[in-house]
A and B are shown apart, each in its own frame.
Chain A
Amino acid sequence: MTTINRLVSATLAALSFSVSAAVAAPQSFDFKDPKGVNNVQFHLDAPLESISGQGTGITGTVSFDPAAPAATTGRIVLSTDSLTVGNPTMKEHLHSANWLDVAKFPEIVFEAKSLTHAVTTGGSTKAEAKGVLTVKGIAKEITVPVTITYLPGKLGTRLNKPELKGDLLVLRAQFSINRSDFGIQVGQYANNVSEQIELTLSLAGAAAQPAP
């Protein structure tokens, strides 16, 4: 092998290493959705009519590496003021000091610390996210089943800006919490409103690539 050949091989090897290192690096996905689709829906059973609503005031970031989905961590914040239902009186009760006390606790936070039992099929990873959920100032460790879908290069398509390069990360989760665990009307209205709150998270985060 000539010296030039050796030099070319070494350069190519160095280049491929740096490219793969760049691809494998974790990306930070921003969950403040410009399209306003990100939402957390909640559902409580009640005798006459179940109480259902949603919150759309979502922010936060998630660190995701397509090469190592199990290493995903992040923090999702829901503004409690954005929680709403169809009935205005019910919404007033929900925001009041007796229920979520929106004035005193403006945020509900989930901090994902680690992912376990991660199974990746195609661009989708099913796993259990272990983390800390903070509601009304009470933090509890919980495990949430999540589905993470990685959509490379789809940011521009979603925002109708083909010139915008970047990836999307879609998070879906469905789980229940007990309202008494988070100090919400502990031991109250047991016959009128269910103890369990069913939560459904539908979130999309974006990682824009800097323009060349």
Chain B
Amino acid sequence: MLLILASVLWWSVSGARIGWWQTRVGVERTDEVTGLSVIEWRERFVPGLETPFLGLLLGGSVYASTFLFRRRIPSNQKTT
């Protein structure tokens, strides 16, 4: 649950980008004389939709694995 919440939180704080992961962000620069604009790329990781999806997958897997490795309680100790 913590994994799912952390991934959703990270994704939300980073702008809740509805798209894929980006490792570079475009920043527009305008040339004063000509008025032309160009995108300058800066190295920065922006989490995309994969982040909450992976968090959900990982959190779900961890949760499912708890059922596999759960210690079996002897039937006579189940209830008193």
**Neighbour of A37 across the interface among B23, B34, B41, B46, CB < 8 A:** B34
Query: How many positions in chain A have a CB within 8 Å of any CB in the partner chain?
Result: 27
Other-chain residue from B18, B21, B31, B39 in contact with A48 (beta carbon distance below 8 A):
B18
Residue among A35, A86, A87 having the largest count of chain B Cβ atoms under 10 Å: A86
Q: Mark A173-212, 1 if CB is under 8 A from B, else 0.
A: 0000000000000000000000000000011100000000
B33 within 8 A of A: yes
Query: Which chain B positions have C-beta within 8 A of A172?
Result: 36
A33-B70 Cα distance, complex, nearest whole Å: 66
Q: Is the CB of B20 within 8 A of A48?
A: yes
- Please, which residues of chain A bring their CB within 8 A of the CB of B26? 86
Cβ–Cβ contact A170 & B36, under 8 A: yes
Task: Give A32 Cβ to nearest chain B Cβ, in Å.
Answer: 15
Q: How far is the CA of A37 from the CA of B36 in the complex (A)?
A: 7
- Chain A binding surface, main DSSP class: mixed
* Nearest CB on B from A199, distance (A): 14
- B37 beta carbon closer than 8 Å to chain A: yes
A36 and B37 CA atoms in complex are apart in Å by 10
- Pairwise interchain contact B22-A38, C-beta atoms closer than 8 A: no
Could you tell me the distance between the alpha carbons of A82 and B29 in the complex, rounded to whole angstroms? 18
Given that A86-B23, A151-B33, A158-B33 are known contacts, is A36 also in contact with B18, CB under 8 Å in the complex? no
Contact assessment for A36 and B38 in the assembled complex, using a CB-CB cutoff below 8 Å: yes
Given A48-B49, A86-B24, 4 more A-B residue pairs with CB atoms under 8 Å apart are: A39-B38, A54-B38, A56-B38, A172-B36
A-B contact pairs, 24 of them (CB 8 A): A37-B31, A38-B36, A39-B39, A48-B18, A48-B19, A48-B20, A49-B48, A84-B24, A84-B41, A86-B23, A86-B24, A86-B26, A86-B46, A89-B20, A90-B20, A149-B34, A157-B33, A158-B31, A170-B34, A170-B35, A202-B36, A202-B37, A204-B31, A204-B36
**5 smallest beta-carbon distances between A and B, as pairs:** A49-B19, A86-B22, A158-B33, A202-B36, A204-B34
